[in-house]
Amino acid sequence: MKYWVTCQNALMTTLAYRGNLFLHLLTTAINVLVTIFMWLAVYNFSGRSDIAGIRPNQMVLYLIVVNVLALIFSAEPIFKFSGLVRSGNLSVVLMRPINYFIQSFWDYLGRAIPYLFVYGLATAIVSPVFHRGLLYGLSSFLLMVITYGMFFLLVTAISLCTFWLVQVWPLRPVLSALFLLLGGQAFPLQVLPPAFSWLIYNPFSLAGNQLTLLLLGKLSLRQVATAGSWAMLWTVVTLALLKLTWHRGIRSYEGVGS
């Protein structure tokens, strides 16, 4: 129940600044439009009706979905945790009989609820995911859940570098670039040469590219299983990293600023 209240508070915080939410969505929409026009221009000037088997209308749909996913899979926990450590406000969190990571997960979930609602609606109504039988639907749902958990653990593990770095803001453009390039936010990774096909199993691609293809009905059951296995593997790696760095980091934490 305490975690559910955390989730509710996070959602209310997101909705508290309506203007902020609207501007965030507007900025994302403009970015998506720019990317779409760029790709339509590529199609027009190349004179080809498809690129790597992807037609223009599929590309437009892909770019819209992957950008909604980028809103869900945000790197915000990194900067939130950095703020807590730099201001010393982590002390307040540490004084509560609560698991910080579980609380942080529910906070992460609460902040993403408006975008998860959009993705969920699109999956349930437009996407063929849940019209391909129980096994496929269940596998797809599991892939979404595991990937979401994996990505949260990844950004949380990255956030712990705050214990040793004073500022983590230089990471923001790096993470944006990683999601743009490795996550398939700027282009589907399938357009890359076959030598780079292994890139689709990196954590950013699992969260962006693979979940977009899932929603568009482009993944077979076998591909869903492979992506799920990779997501679980990354989950184990990030959990180990998290455990290791937390125990070291918390001993170097000084709770600055009285």
Partner 1 sequence: MSSPIISIDHANFSYVTFTKQSGFSGAWHDLFHRQKSTVAAVQDISLQVNRGEILGLLGANGAGKTTLIKLMTGILPANTGDVRLFTDQVPFRKQPAFLQRIGVMLSQKSQLAWDLPALDTLVLLREIYHIPHDQFNNWLAFLTKELAVTPQLHVPVRKLSLGQRIKFELICALIHRPEILFLDEPTIGIDVSSQANIYRFLKQLNHDTQMTIILTSHNTKDIEALAQRVAVVNHGKKIFEGTTTGLISRYATVPILEIVTDGPLTHIPVHVRQVDPTHYEVDATTLATLPIDPRQILSVNRRNSDLDAILTQLFSEEAPKR
Cβ neighbours of 229 (radius 10 Å)? 13
Residue 199 to residue 202: CA distance in whole angstroms = 6
Q: Which stretch binds partner 1 (CB under 8 A): 11-19, 53-61, 153-161, 237-245?
A: 11-19
Cβ proximity to partner 1: between 57 and 252 the closer is 252
Cβ proximity to partner 1: between 2 and 55 the closer is 2
Q: Which of 68, 65, 44, 43 is nearest to 54 (CA)?
A: 43
x/- map, 70-89, partner 1, by CB under 8 A:
-----------------xxx
Least distance CB 253 / partner 1 (angstroms): 8
Name the amino acid, one letter, at 62. Answer: Y
In the block, tokens 């221009």 appear at 41
Residue 64 to residue 176: CA distance in whole angstroms = 17
Least distance CB 155 / partner 1 (angstroms): 21
Least distance CB 1 / partner 1 (angstroms): 5
257 lies in the site for partner 1, by CB under 8 A: yes
Q: Which of 73, 68, 95, 74 is nearest to 84 (CA)?
A: 95
Applying CB under 8 A, the residues found at the interface with partner 1 are 1-2, 4-6, 9, 12-13, 16-17, 87-89, 91-92, 94-98, 251, 253-255, 257-258
